[in-house]
């Protein structure tokens, strides 16, 4: 529902069903078309994207997929979560209390980076943070109950 940057590829790609697709021939108005979310280069700081869960639930694990991002994968990522009822705006979510459910961790390019989540609280939104920038195909949530 929100990303602070979408220079190369839009945030909606993070939640597309099915495996990511890569084609060397596909180009769009922003250049090469990627089946993922990709941000511009930045220093200092980081980029983040917020996803509203389809239903409130407990996140048991996360896979941060970087399969097609060889040279532009972020070196680190974290995942935060919050529980806000109703349909909050991005501005309201900025003011929400976010809890880290996956600590800032090193991730590898061309890989499905899997992380277990120990926190068993119920969440409505998750935020993928990448440090400092780069490309991610998807951030699959593990079993959600």
pLDDT value, residue 19: 65
pLDDT value, residue 64: 86
- Number of other residues whose CB lies within 10 A of the CB of residue 61: 16
Question: What is the rounded CA–CA span in Å between residue 67 and residue 18?
Answer: 13
Number of domains in the chain: 1
pLDDT value, residue 36: 65
pLDDT value, residue 46: 85
pLDDT value, residue 12: 63
Adjacent-strand bridge partners of 31:
28
Instruction: Residue 97: give its domain's CATH number.
Output: 2.60.120.260
Residue-by-residue pLDDT tens, the chain, 145 positions = 776 666 556 666 666 666 666 666 766 655 555 666 666 666 677 888 998 998 999 999 998 888 776 677 788 999 999 999 999 999 999 999 999 999 999 998 888 899 999 999 999 999 999 898 666 666 565 555 5
Q: What is the DSSP string of 69-98?
A: -SSS--SEEEEEEE---S---HHHHHTS--
Domain that residue 13 falls in: 2-141
pLDDT value, residue 111: 83
Q: Are 4 and 93 in contact (CB under 8 A)?
A: no
């Amino acid at each position: 529902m929100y990303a602070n940057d979408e220079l190369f590829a839009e945030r909606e790609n993070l939640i597309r069903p099915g495996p990511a697709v890569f084609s060397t021939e596909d180009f769009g108005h922003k250049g090469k078309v990627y089946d993922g979310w990709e941000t511009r280069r930045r220093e200092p700081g980081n980029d983040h994207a917020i996803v509203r869960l389809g239903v409130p639930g407990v996140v048991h694990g996360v896979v941060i997929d970087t399969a097609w991002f060889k040279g532009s994968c972020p070196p680190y990522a974290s995942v935060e979560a919050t529980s806000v009822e109703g349909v909050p705006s991005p501005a309201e979510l900025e003011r929400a209390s976010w809890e880290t459910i996956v600590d800032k961790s090193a991730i590898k390019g061309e890989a499905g980076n899997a992380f277990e989540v120990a926190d068993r609280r119920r969440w409505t939104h998750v935020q993928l943070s990448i440090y400092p920038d780069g490309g991610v195909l998807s951030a699959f949530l593990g079993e959600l109950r």
